[in-house]
Structure 1
Amino acid sequence: MRISLNWLQELVEFSLSPEKLAETLTLAGFEVEDIEDRRTWGDGVVVGKVLQREPHPNADKLSVCQVDVGSGEPLNIVCGAPNVRADIYVAVAVVGTYLPIVDLKIKPAKLRGVRSEGMICSLAELGLLKESPGIHIFEADNLKLGQDVRPFLGLDDVIFDLTSTANRADALSMVGIAREVAALTGGKLKLPEIPTVSYPDLKETLQVRVSETKACPVYIGTAIANLKIAPSPDWLQRRLQSVGVRPINNVVDVTNYILWEWGQPLHAFDGERLQAVAGSKPVLGVRFAQAGETFKTLDSQSRTLQTQNLLITAGNVPVALAGVMGGEETEVHSGTTSLVLEAAIFDSASIRRSARAQGLRTEASTRYERGVNLAELDIACQRAINLMTELAGGTVVSQAKNDARPDPSSWTRTIKLRLERVNLVLGPVDSEENPEILADDVERILTALGCHLKATSTEEVWQVTVPPYRYRDLEREIDLIEEIARLYGYNRFADTLPEKTEAGYLSFEEELTRKLREALRASGLTELVHYSYALVKDDSQVAIANPMFTEYSSLRTELVSGLINSFQYNLEQGNGALNGFEIGKVFWTDEDGLAEADSVAGILGGDIRRGNWVRGGKEQPLTWYEAKGILEGVFEKIGLSVEYQPDFSNRRFHPGRTASLWSQGERLGTFGQLHPQLCQEKDLPNAVYVFDLDLDLILERMEKEEIMTPRFQAYSTYPASDRDIAFFAPVDLSLAEIQKAITKAGGELLTSVELFDEYRGENVPEGQRSLALRLVYRLSDRTLTDAEVEPVHQKVREVLLDKFQVSLRS
C-alpha cells in the first residue's frame, strides 16, 4: 500500500523524518519496501508566466516563448507543446535543474538555431503522469512568479510503499496507518470530524432487498440527486495521485478517496442508468449468480458468471460484481445528474471465491478479502456523502438500509491478559534497571492501540477490551502479547539463550520415516510431493469448504492417483518414464467421523539400466519381477519381512499381475501392474507398476533396535552346500507359498531359497509350469557333509509332494 507523508501528517502529529518513520514502521511489522521522495522530482522548478509566444522560424511544431520567472529579464524558451500560449502560468525548469524522472539536466542550448534558457514542464516530465499531451497550465492566475511549484503539484511529499501482514486488514487505509503511527510515536490522532445526519427513508424512491445476508450482512443505498459532474479540486486530485490513483471526476474520486482514507470500498451507480436497467424504480438486491449469466464490468470485459460470483442487482438484473468491480452499463459519466451510492460489508470468503472465479483482483476485493471493519461502515458512508454534496452539489433524496449485523456489543471482545504470561513468553528485556516488561508498559502500549484495560482483583491481570477495528486479529491472549512485543520493540529484548537448553532431536517415528526415505531413494526412486486434494468422487471423501479450485474440492483418499498423473505429465513433457514415491497423509470419513492415516506409495516404469547402447540404443521396459525386486530391495534395507499373495480386488491393477503384501499376518498394502485399459486411457506404456503401502504398519514393524543401529554379523568361513530342485507345479500355486513351506522344512540349515528358472510350454502339462529352485545349506561353525544335508533336502521334497502334490523332476 502507498502512504503519503503529507496526508499522514494531517491525521496524526509526529516529527520523525521519513527515514526514521520508515524504520519505525518496519520494526513494528509494516515493511517499508521503498521510499519515493517526490521533493527531488521538482527541485529547481518554479512558477513562470508566458508573456509572449511566437512560432519558431525554422520548425513548424516548435514555439519561441518569453517566460517571466520573477528573476528580472524574461527567459527565452523553445517549447514543443501544442497547448502553450501567452498569459498562462506554467512550471519552468530553469538552467541547472535536474529532472530525475526523465534523467535530464537543463542547460542553455540552441534548438534549430534559437537559444533556449530552460524548459516548460509537463506533468509527465515531473513524474505525476505516465503520459501528458502538453505542458501543465496552472488554473490559478494570481501565483507568485519564481515560487517553488512543488506545493502546488503535490511534489513536496514523500511516498512510502508499505506492506502489511495478512491479518492486519485495518492497515489497508490511511486512518489505520495513522492509528499505528500514533501508537508508535505517542503522537496525537486527528481523525476527520464527520457530522452525523439522518436521511429520509423513502421506500418508493429506493429499496434494498438482500437475500444473501450471510454474504452481505449490511447494505446501505443512498440516492443523491442534482449532481454536477466536474473535475475534483486540486487537493483531492493530489491525494489520489500520491497513492497511485488516477483522478476521474468529483464523484468517482470521492469513492476512491474514502477507500484509501478509511479502507471502506464504495461504489456509485448512475441513477438514471440504474432505473433504465431495472425497468422501474430500482430495487437493489444481493444474490449469487446463476451459472452461465453474463455481465460486462467497468473494464469493458464481458464475463461469464459462475455460481460463486456474488452480484448486486437492480430489478434482479446484475449491475455489479459485489465487492469486486462495478458494471459498465450503470457507471457514472460526465452527464450523470443523480446516483445511488453503495456502502456495504461483504463476507471475506464470498468475495475471495468470487474474485478468483473471474481472475479479477481489485483494491476493493483486496480489502473485503482481508475483512472490512463493521463498526466504521456508517462513518465512511457519511464521510463520502458529505464530500459529494460539497464537491458535486448533490442533494440526498433518500437512504435505504438492509442491516443484518449482529448487535454492536459483539463487534468487540474482552480478553484476559496476565503480566506473568507476557514475560514468560517474551523473556527478559535488554535493560539493567528493569529486566522484565512492567505493568505500566503493558497499559501504555495497549491503551495506545485503542484497547480498554480494566484491572481485576488478581494483581497484574487485566480484562482487555479490543477496539472494533482490531476485532478480526486480536482474538486471544497471545495476540495481545504479540502486540506488546511489537510496540515495545523487538530490538529491546535480550538476545541471550535460555538457561536450560538441550540439543534437538528427531522423534523415533521421524527417524524411522527418514530411514524408509533413504531406502527408497537408494533404490533409484525420486521423492514426489503433491497437494493433499482431489476431486469429489464418493461420500467417503472429506469435502473442502473453501477449495482453491474445483479440481481440488476434497481431500485425497489415496496417493496412487497423483503418482499416475505425474507419470503421465512427465511423459507428455518429454521427460521419459518416472520412477518415484510419495509419503503423505490420506483422509476419509467413516461411521466414527473424519479419519486420516499415513501412507507410502510409488510408481515404476522407467528403464533402470544405464548405457542402453549395448541394446541398440533402445530402452527396455521393466518386467514385473524387476519392479518387484526394487521393492524387495527396499524391504531388505529396512529389515522388513513381506509375503506376497495374489490379489484381484483393485480394478486399476492387472488382474493376473497384482499381489497383496502381508507382514506377520497383517495386510501391508498392494503391489502390481496397472491395468492395460487404464494405461490405454492415460496413454501410458503397458509396463507401469505401482505399490501402495500402510506407512504406520511399516514403522511399527521397523521399531527394532537393529534397524536403527545395525549390528555386524560375522560371515561363515565355511563353504555352503547347494542343491537344486525342479518340479511341475500348478500355475495358480504362488511361489511365495512354496518358498514359505521350503523354508520351514529346511530349518536352521537352509539359508536361502531362490528361483532361477521358470518354463511353460512344450513338454509341460497343461495348467502347470516348470519351476527350478536353488537351496543353499550352511552352518557357521563347520562344513556340512552330504549325510547332514540329504535328510533335510529329502524332507523338503516330501513337503512339496504332500502339501502341493507337485511332480518332481529332480
Structure 2
Amino acid sequence: MRISLNWLREIVDITMTPEELAHTLTMAGFEVEEIEDRRTWADGVVIGKVLECQRHPNADKLSVTKVDIGKGEPLNIVCGAPNVRADIYVAVATVGTYLPKIDVKIRAANLRGVRSEGMICSLAELGLSKESAGIHIFDEVGAHSRAPLQLGDDVRPLLGLDDTILDLTATANRADALCMVGIAREVAALTGATLRLPQPDALSIPTTEGLEIAVLQPQACPAYIGTVIEGIKIAPSPEWLQQRLQAAGMRPINNVVDATNYIMLEWGQPLHAFDRDRLLAVRAHSSAPLPITIGVRFAESGESLKTLDGQSRNLTSQTLLITANDKPVALAGVMGGEATEVGDTTQNLLLEAALFDSVAIRRSARSLGLRTEASARYERGVNYAELELACRRAISLIQQIAGGTAVSQQIADRRPDMGTLSRSIQLRLDRVNQILGLVDLGDTDGELQPDEMQQILTALGCQVTPDAEKERVWIVTVPPYRYRDLEREIDLIEEIARVYGYDKFCTTLPEATEFGFLSVEQQLTRQIRAAMRAAGLTELMHYSLVKPGEDRQVVLANPLFAEYAALRTDLIAGLVDAFQYNLEQGNGALNGFEIGRIFTQDEAGIDEMEAIGGILGGDPTQGKWVSAGRDRPMSWYEAKGILDSVFQRLGLSIEYQPSRQDTRLHPGRTASLWLQGNRLGVFGQLHPQLRQERGLPDEVYVFQLDLDLLFDALDVEEMLVPRFKPYSTYPAADRDIAFFAPVDVSVAELERAIAHAGGQLLESVELFDEYRGQGVPAGQRSLAFRLVYRASDRTLTDAEVEPVHQKVRESLVEKFSLNLRS
C-alpha cells in the first residue's frame, strides 16, 4: 500500500524523517519496499506567468515566450507545447534545475537561433502523468486556497509534490493496515504520537419507501446499507482529492467515484455508487412492483454481467452478486456493472456500504480471475464495527464536493452483537518474559516490566484489567479492528515484542557450534542410491498421492483433487506409469528406481514403511549397429544380473524363491527375495496381459524391496566400516557337476545344499548352464554348476578335494533325488 506522509500527518503527529519512519515500520513488521520522495521531482520549479507568446521565426511548431517568475527580468523561453499562450500561469524549470523523471538538467541554450533560459513544464515532465498533450496551466487561484498565485513560489505544494510516499507491505493477517487510519494507529502505537481520527458529520437520514434491501445470503453479506442521494452534480474532483488518489496509485475519475475510493483508502471500507436512475431503468425491465429491491445472492447458471472494465463475464455459482429486482448489476465486493455506473449525466445516487464474507469474495474473485482494490480488502476481512462510520464519512464527503441530499437509507444488518467482537484474552506476565527472554537495558539485561507491557497494549487500543483471581495475570480486551488477528495469548505476546522492538531483545547463541552429521539411515540411503546408479538406473520421484480404488488404501478426507485422493500402497504402479509415459513421449524405455514411502491400512490401523522400487526393460547396450539399429529386449537373466550387481556392491547375499502372489507379474517369472531369513521383496516380469494393455515392450521387469530390512542388514559394523579380508595366495581347484533336476526345485535350494555339504573348502558355486529339451526327461531340466575349492594355507590335492566333492554329490542325490550326469 502507498502511504502519503502529508495525508498521514493529518491523522497522526509525525516528527520522524521518512527514512526513520520507514525503518520503524519495517522493524514492526510492515516492510517498506520503497521511499518515493516526490519533493525531488520539481525542486527548482516555480510559478511563472506567460506575458508574451509569439511564433518562432525559424520553426513552425515552436513559440517564443516571455515568462515572469516574480524576480528579475522576464525569462525568454522557447516552448513547443501547442497550448502555450499569453496570460496563463505555468510551471517553470529555471536554469540549473534537474528533473529526475526525464533525466534532464535545464541549461540556457540557443534553439533555432533564439536563446532559451528555462523550460515550461508539463505534468509528464514533473512525473505526475505518463504523457501530456501540452504544458500544465494553473488556475488563477491556488489548489488548496482561494489566495491568488504568487509568481516565483514553489509549485510543489500546488501539485502535491511536497510529499513523500512510503510503499509498504502489510502481512496477510493485518487487514486493518490496508488503510490510512490503520497505519496511523500503528504509527501512534510505535511512536507514542497523538492520533486524530477523521470524524464524520452527524447525519439524520429518513427511511422512506422506494428502496428495499433483500439479502438472500446473510452469511455472505452480514450487513448492507443503501443510501439514496439526490441532486448531485458530476464534475472533476478537487485538486487535493485527485492528488491524494494519485499518490496512492489510483486514477481520478469523477467526484463521486473519487469520494468512494478516498474513503476506502482512509478507512479500509470499500464502497460503491450506483446511478439510481439507471437502476430504475433496470427495474423497469422487470415485472416486479415499483420499489427498487437491492438483493445479494449467488449467481445462477447461464447468467452474465458486463463489468466496469467493459468485459462481459460469464458467472458461476460461486459468484456473489448485487441485484436490482433480481437483475445482476454488480459483482459484490469486486466490481460494479457497466449498466449502472456513475457517469457525466448522473444526478441521483444509490451508495452501497456493505460487509461481505472474506471466503465468499475470495471464491467469487478467483472464479472470474478478477482482483481489485475492493476485493483485496474484503478477502482479508473488513472491520465490522466501523461500517456506519465509513458510510457517514462518504455521504458527507459526497455532499461536500458533489452537492446533493441524502433522502433515504435502508439497512439490512445481521451482524453479531458488537460486544462479541471485543474478545477478551488472558495474558500471563510471567509467560511473556518466558517466551521473549531478556531485553537489553544498556549496562545490563533485564525483563520487560508490567508497566511497559500495559503501555504497549493500551497504545494498540486494547483495554487491560488485572485478573481478580490470579496474580500477575491480565484480562486484555481486544479492539474490534484487531478482532481477526488477536485471538490467543501468544498473539498478544507477539504484539508486545513487535512494538517494543525485536532489536532490543538479547540474542542468545549456542556456546559452541557442532559439526553436522548424517544419520545412519541417511548414510545407508546414499550408499543404496550410489549402488543403484552404478548399475545404470536413473532415480525417479513421484507423488505419494494416487487415485483411489485399490484395496487397503488410505483415502484422504479432504483431497485437493479427485486424482490424488489416496495414498499409494506400493511403488510399482507409479514406476509402470512412468515407463509408459516415457515411451509415449518418444524417450525410449526407462531403467529407473525410486525410494519413497508406501502406506497400507488394515484392521490394526495405518502402516507406513520405506520402500525402494525399480523398473527395467530398456536395452542397456550402446551402439546398435550389430542389431541393425533395433533395441534388443532385456532377458530375465540380464535384469536379475543388474539387481544382483546392486546386492553385490552392497555386500548382501540374496536368495530367490518362486512367487505368484502379485497378479500384475508373470506367474512363472516372478521371485520373492529373501535376506537372512526375512522376505525382502519381489522381483519379476510384468504380466503379458498388463504389458499388452499398456502398450509396453515384450519384457519389462520390476522390483520392490523393504528399505527398513535393508537398513537392518547394512547397519552392522562390518558393513558400515569396510575392513580388509585376507585372501589365499594358493591356487584353486575347480570341479563341475551336472544333473537332471525337477523344474520345481529352485537353483537357490540347490546352491544352499551344495554350500552346506562343501564346508569350509568350498569357495564359490556358480550355475553356468541350463538346458531343457530333447534328451531331458519331462518335468526336469539339465543344470551344470562349477564349484571352486580353495584353502588359505596350502595348495589342495586331489585327495583332499575328491572326498568333499563326492559328499556334495551324495547330498544332492539324497535330498533331491537327482539323476547325476557327471
Q: Shared fold (TM-score greater than 0.5)?
A: yes
Q: How does 1:562-601 map to 2 (within 5 A)?
A: 580-585=592-597, 600-601=612-613
Counterpart for residue 486 of structure 1: 498
Counterpart for residue 78 of structure 2: 78
Superposed displacement of residue 241, structure 1? 0.8
1:157 corresponds to which of 147, 150, 163 = 163
2:213/2:412 contact within 8 Å kept? no
1:171 aligns with 2:167: no
Cα pair distance change 1:779/1:325, threshold 3 Å: farther
Counterpart for residue 46 of structure 2: 46
1:190 aligns with 2:201: no
Q: Distance in 2 between matches of 1:514 and 1:77?
A: 78
Counterpart for residue 453 of structure 2: 442
Q: Distance in 2 between matches of 1:587 and 1:200?
A: 67
Higher mean displacement: 492-501 or 775-784: 775-784
Q: Distance in 2 between matches of 1:667 and 1:609?
A: 32
Superposed displacement of residue 361, structure 1? 3.1
Letter of the aligned partner of 1:261 in structure 2? E
Superposed displacement of residue 22, structure 1? 1.6
Superposed displacement of residue 122, structure 1? 1.4
Q: How does 1:520-599 map to 2 (within 5 A)?
A: 520-521=532-533, 523-529=535-541, 542-543=555-556, 545=558, 547=560, 580-585=592-597
2:554/2:606 contact within 8 Å kept? no
Cα pair distance change 1:775/1:496, threshold 3 Å: same
1:556/1:586 contact within 8 Å kept? yes
Letter of the aligned partner of 1:234 in structure 2? E
Letter of the aligned partner of 1:208 in structure 2? A
1:239 aligns with 2:237: no
2:758/2:805 contact within 8 Å kept? no
Cα pair distance change 1:155/1:455, threshold 3 Å: same
1:92 aligns with 2:92: yes
Q: Distance in 2 between matches of 1:782 and 1:439?
A: 89
Q: Distance in 1 between matches of 2:785 and 2:224?
A: 82
Q: How does 1:261-300 map to 2 (within 5 A)?
A: 261-277=266-282, 279=286, 280=288, 281-287=292-298, 290=301, 293-300=303-310
Q: How does 1:595-614 map to 2 (within 5 A)?
A: 600-602=612-614
Fraction of identical pairs, as percent: 64
TM-score relative to the length of structure 2: 0.83
1:745/1:799 contact within 8 Å kept? no
Cα pair distance change 1:293/1:524, threshold 3 Å: farther
1:227 corresponds to which of 215, 227, 232 = 232
Counterpart for residue 377 of structure 2: 367
Counterpart for residue 798 of structure 1: 813
Q: How does 1:386-401 map to 2 (within 5 A)?
A: 386-401=396-411
Higher mean displacement: 300-309 or 71-80: 300-309
Cα pair distance change 1:187/1:713, threshold 3 Å: farther
Letter of the aligned partner of 1:238 in structure 2? Q
Letter of the aligned partner of 1:179 in structure 2? R
Q: Distance in 2 between matches of 1:554 and 1:254?
A: 53
Counterpart of 1:267 in 2: which secondary structure? strand
1:453 corresponds to which of 464, 473, 485 = 464
Q: Distance in 1 between matches of 2:267 and 2:753?
A: 81
Q: Distance in 1 between matches of 2:419 and 2:604?
A: 39
Unaligned runs of 5+ in 1: none
1:144 aligns with 2:156: no
Counterpart for residue 251 of structure 1: 256
Cα pair distance change 1:583/1:208, threshold 3 Å: farther
Higher mean displacement: 536-545 or 787-796: 536-545
Q: Distance in 2 between matches of 1:670 and 1:289?
A: 55
Higher mean displacement: 517-526 or 418-427: 517-526
Counterpart for residue 114 of structure 1: 114
2:67/2:75 contact within 8 Å kept? yes
Superposed displacement of residue 185, structure 1? 1.3
Q: How does 1:467-482 map to 2 (within 5 A)?
A: 467-482=479-494
Letter of the aligned partner of 2:25 in structure 1? L
1:741/1:799 contact within 8 Å kept? no
Letter of the aligned partner of 2:297 in structure 1? V
TM-score relative to the length of structure 1: 0.84
Letter of the aligned partner of 1:428 in structure 2? L
Letter of the aligned partner of 2:188 in structure 1? A
Letter of the aligned partner of 2:149 in structure 1? L
Counterpart for residue 55 of structure 2: 55
Superposed displacement of residue 230, structure 1? 1.9
Counterpart of 2:211 in 1: which secondary structure? coil
Counterpart of 2:298 in 1: which secondary structure? strand
1:275/1:282 contact within 8 Å kept? no
Cα pair distance change 1:77/1:624, threshold 3 Å: farther
Q: Distance in 1 between matches of 2:207 and 2:673?
A: 75
Superposed displacement of residue 156, structure 1? 1.0
2:176/2:182 contact within 8 Å kept? yes
Q: Distance in 1 between matches of 2:574 and 2:428?
A: 49
Superposed displacement of residue 44, structure 1? 0.9
Q: Distance in 1 between matches of 2:654 and 2:360?
A: 51
Higher mean displacement: 189-198 or 691-700: 691-700
1:332 aligns with 2:351: no
Higher mean displacement: 564-573 or 219-228: 564-573
Counterpart for residue 211 of structure 2: 205
Superposed displacement of residue 43, structure 1? 0.5
Q: Distance in 2 between matches of 1:764 and 1:603?
A: 34
Q: Distance in 2 between matches of 1:50 and 1:179?
A: 46
Unaligned runs of 5+ in 2: 142-147
Letter of the aligned partner of 1:116 in structure 2? S
1:464 aligns with 2:476: yes
Residue by residue, what CA displacement relative to the aligned partner does 1:272-296 show, whole Å, maximum 9, x if unpaired? Answer: 4445446353432221553x65444
**In terms of Rg, which structure is larger?**
2
Letter of the aligned partner of 1:27 in structure 2? M
Superposed displacement of residue 521, structure 1? 4.9
